[in-house]
Structure formats: C-alpha cells, structure tokens
C-alpha cells in the first residue's frame, strides 16, 4: 500500500486532509463530494458553482471571491499540494491552470477535464464495465457539459468497487 511522507496510507491522508479542508473553510461534512475548480471564465464558473451548490457538492475554486453567498462554495487565491489530498475531483477547463494536475492525480483526485488537453494521451474516460479509464472528459468547454461529468463522477463513486478501481487507475497514471 502506498504511503505519504507522514507515514499515512493515501486513503488515511485523504480523510485527514478532507477534514482539515472542511474545518478550515467551514464546509458542511454532509456534502456529496468536495471538488477543486479552476476555471477562468467567470460566467461559466458562476453557473457551475451554483449548480454544484444546489446539488450539495462543495466547491473550492481558485479565483476572485464573488459568489460567497452560495452554500459550501469557497474562493481561494491558491492551494498547497498538501491540501490536494482533501479533494475528491477537480475541474480544469483552461490550458493556463493554477493547479498541478499530476500532483492532484497522485493524491487520488479524479480529473474532470476537456477531452482535448495537454495530457490527452494519458487520460481516458472512465468505463466501469471494463474497469478502464482514469478521468471524466467533456467535449465542449461549457458549464453544463462540465456539470454532466460531475454527475457522472458522482454516479460512479456510489459503487464501492467502481470507486476503488477509478482511484487506483487515477493514482497509477503518474505514479
């Protein structure tokens, strides 16, 4: 089993980090998932944040603090790599991302990305029937297409074996 620099298994580190994030940012622990969002388009970001908030998904986004009234939505200027373990998934829509995608994946954080991106040769749509794939990929950079993939992610992680295989595939991508 893989361990972190603190001697914890990745699963233990994820649980500790998630609790720390929830406490630090006052996020309700009953949310369905905690997602990191890095989208520069303010309009698309606002639509996606509202949809996630209504669906009981916590979102920490990198950007200006313009939507503080949404439940379980928090804006930050940046995050440290040690905080990455606390996220379940991340969404990046732009090529000029403020996050380290490979570090996120090594922290067992599931990518939700455009189908065409700089890691396209390594990322493949998760297929629970064949136990293949390591991400959820949207064809069009549009908030509804991104939210569709968030929902696909949530549907897949409801099943423990699908979740286990997905996280194993994610962590093995850049191991």
The DSSP letter of residue 129 is T
- CA neighbours within 13 Å on the CB side: how many for 72? 21
Predicted confidence at residue 110, as pLDDT, reads 96
Predicted confidence at residue 69, as pLDDT, reads 82
Percent of the chain with pLDDT over 70: 93
Residue 158, class by beta-carbon neighbours within 10 Å (0-12 exposed, 13-18 middle, 19+ buried)?
A: exposed
**Res. 96 pLDDT band, cuts 50 70 90:** low
Core vs surface per residue 35-71: b (16+ CB within 10 A) or e? bbbbbeeeebbebbbbbbbeeebbbbbbbeeebeeee
Judged against a pLDDT cut of 90, whether residue 101 lies above it is answered with no
Domain ranges of the chain: 10-173
| Fold type of domain 10-173 | Rossmann fold (3.40.50)
Judged against a pLDDT cut of 90, whether residue 132 lies above it is answered with yes
**Res. 146 pLDDT band, cuts 50 70 90:** very high
Judged against a pLDDT cut of 60, whether residue 1 lies above it is answered with no
């Amino acid at each position: 089993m893989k361990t972190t620099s603190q001697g914890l298994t990745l699963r233990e580190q994820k649980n500790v980090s998630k609790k720390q994030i929830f406490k630090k940012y006052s996020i309700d622990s009953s949310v369905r998932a905690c997602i990191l969002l890095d989208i520069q388009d303010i309009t698309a970001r606002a639509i996606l944040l509202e949809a996630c908030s209504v669906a009981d998904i916590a979102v920490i986004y990198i950007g200006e603090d313009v939507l503080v009234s949404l439940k379980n939505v928090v804006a930050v200027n940046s995050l440290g790599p040690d905080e990455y373990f606390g996220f379940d998934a991340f969404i990046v829509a732009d090529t000029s991302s403020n996050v380290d995608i490979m570090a996120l994946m090594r922290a067992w954080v599931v990518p939700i990305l455009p189908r065409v991106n700089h890691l396209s040769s390594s990322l493949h749509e998760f297929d629970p029937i064949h136990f293949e794939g390591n991400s959820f990929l949207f064809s069009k950079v549009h908030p509804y297409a991104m939210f569709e993939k968030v929902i696909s992610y949530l549907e897949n992680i409801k099943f423990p074996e699908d979740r286990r295989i997905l996280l194993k595939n994610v962590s093995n991508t850049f191991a």
